[in-house]
Amino acid sequence: MTKLYDRYSGAALAAAARVLGDRAEAEDVLQEVFVRVWDRAAEFDTSRGSVAAWLMGSIRNAAIDRLRRKDAFHRALEGAAALPRPDGDRHELPEDLRRVKAAVEGLPMEQRRPIELAYFEGLTQTEIAARLEQPLGTVKTRMRLGMQRLRAALAGFEGGAA
């Protein structure tokens, strides 16, 4: 695997950066794809193409997927901002937003901060690690744990049905 990484990581990073226009995001994609390649190496079929084609196709697809997710997130934020406010007190939040807000506020700060940076500022995990001056693995673990806690806190709640 080391030889594969040494041989193709430069080209793969460049390809991801071209698609994403952001080196930090490209580095995240590179890491994700190489982990996936490591996990799925046994599935590689030489009759379907070369390792290089498989790897570069995986990089390109992962980068495009990341762009789509980021774009969908920004569209959702714009859509939420355009929603009319509920009747009554303009400062009162709908029940579902209150539940989410309370769940996020209930997270330990070490899990809450990276999640806020990702979802409210749109930072990548690499950017979050740099901003918080923490190892990338630590940021990823804390975000995963925080998301698990949020999922548990909001379990059974669907858009106003408690």
Q: Provide the CATH number for the domain around residue 78.
A: 1.10.1740.10
Name the amino acid, one letter, at 114. Answer: P
Residue 22 and residue 71 share a domain: yes
How does 17-33 read in b/e, with b if 16+ C-beta sit within 10 Å? Answer: bebbebebbbbbbbebb
Cα–Cα distance for residue pair 134/116, rounded to 1 Å:
16
Q: What mean pLDDT do residues 91-111 have?
A: 80
Specify the pTM: 0.47
List the domain range (segments joined by +) for residue 130.
Answer: 95-153
Question: What CATH number is attached to the domain comprising 117?
Answer: 1.10.10.10
Considering 30, 50, 82, which residue would you say is the last residue of a domain?
A: 82
User: In this model, does residue 115 exceed pLDDT 60?
Assistant: yes
Res 21: pLDDT: 87
What residues does 158 pair with on adjacent strands?
161
User: In this model, does residue 60 exceed pLDDT 50?
Assistant: yes
Task: Tell me if 14 is assigned to some domain.
Answer: yes
Residue 9 and residue 35 share a domain: yes
Q: Is residue 143 very low, low, confident or very high in pLDDT (cuts 50, 70, 90)?
A: very high
Considering 82, 107, 136, which residue would you say is the last residue of a domain?
A: 82
